[in-house]
Structure 1
């Protein structure tokens, strides 16, 4: 079949026969990125015009959960020579597991770590000691599949991730398995929301920063803000306290946090106010004064802008 007029032509038209010396992957590599070959061993190759692979960011994730479970594994229990059709995340809750691919060194997956297995990779997964694992099979977006090459996630998943906040992520995996195995209302929406949160937490660790989360100087400034919420705070006060110019404060916050100093100060104040409302039972006025707002109405506007609801409705 001839490509449509105006479309780029394939480099080489290779007939597909049973004695073709190239693997299917090799044939694909000989074609332009926009072309996908559909094999038919009797009639040759038909070419279809396709869109390039989509790069999915954490903000684009709308997962569909295929399987979610939470179960005990016995020593030596193994899933040999398997090749899965979708992305799999395995949290090792207790115990220790091994992940093996042909021609690669085995990977040890310790308790408190998440193993990410991409579809199509032939592998063996086994437990070396008794333990607990939780597993999720999912697609990250509604359209297309990872296995077909329709999309990839950026940042790229790490094969093994040592979880920073294990207690919370463990609870999320456990909750996802519970909801998945239930018949509760909005079950699909709940599983999508929980799986999305899990992927976002992991993606935050997969993101390779060029250095620390933020500089020691900025960390010191944030500590200063948290310690002095009841005092007048602005970029000018920060500049005076740290012996720099207000313009430097503005540039530093925007560069490292992507936020203005006033946005960070307001966020710190309303987060502290939220804790006062919920943990100490303070009134809206008391919480506003306690975190440095002299006008409770202005405090309520800032609170609603950040949390989406006024403080009177957040309890």
Structure 2
């Protein structure tokens, strides 16, 4: 196909509310070495993009200022060192920026094939949460079959992916949610236990459910004063993994208790990691998780879709906190 010189993209000139998300003309990027150019079908919407839009989370050095960290679409051009046979392949990809556009460049090593079992909308909703949950829950916290995990934000994109992966790999999944309706939704998705943190003390509920033993892992995106409470939820030799700090970047922790119960505190951020690391993760996912995707056993939970021109509406939906699962922007033909 003939690739045009310009495209529509969401690339706000200044931070602001959702209203700054207005399509503008930008040059179609050219793929460099080890990169592919993708005609975008759909792009997942993530909270870090909302933060970037408000000026709180600038893209890492060298990344596109165009919003968007995950997408699905068809490869239409390749850079040096990329086999031309990849042209025409449907893929989903993790990118450091640039997904809210009609065309986007992605490192070839961060692309995963889209099998018939996935729609392009579902594929666009996979990479960011899948890479994040896999690296933190299974690599940093080395979750093993039969273990238990507490996940905060059980109906978020991360939370719903953690439930799905946890069930596939034999974990007992506890989640917290902000309403009884969301708790019901989380259980319907597959959570073993869902705790309404607004009406119940999640520490006491976890202790009651586990007979006082606690869970093996906490996957936390809240931070702040949740951290010492999370530690009370952990069993001996438990692991606490921080992936966001929505409730505060500082915490006071009981060091002697950590020593006495041999607890591990770790965490990570995905977006600033280099392409080599992300390619290694993609390869591991392709070998370990993608067979489940191909067989239709793993799909993301889709909350809603928005047309590309209404990216502002997608961000308003994200900021409302009412969503269950992923919000997706539909950019091109599906």
Shorter-chain TM-score range: under 0.3
Bigger relative contact order, structure 1 or 2 (CA pairs below 8 A, ≥6 apart) = 2
If the length of structure 2 is used for normalisation, what is the TM-score?
A: 0.25
Q: What is the TM-score with the length of structure 1 in the denominator?
A: 0.26
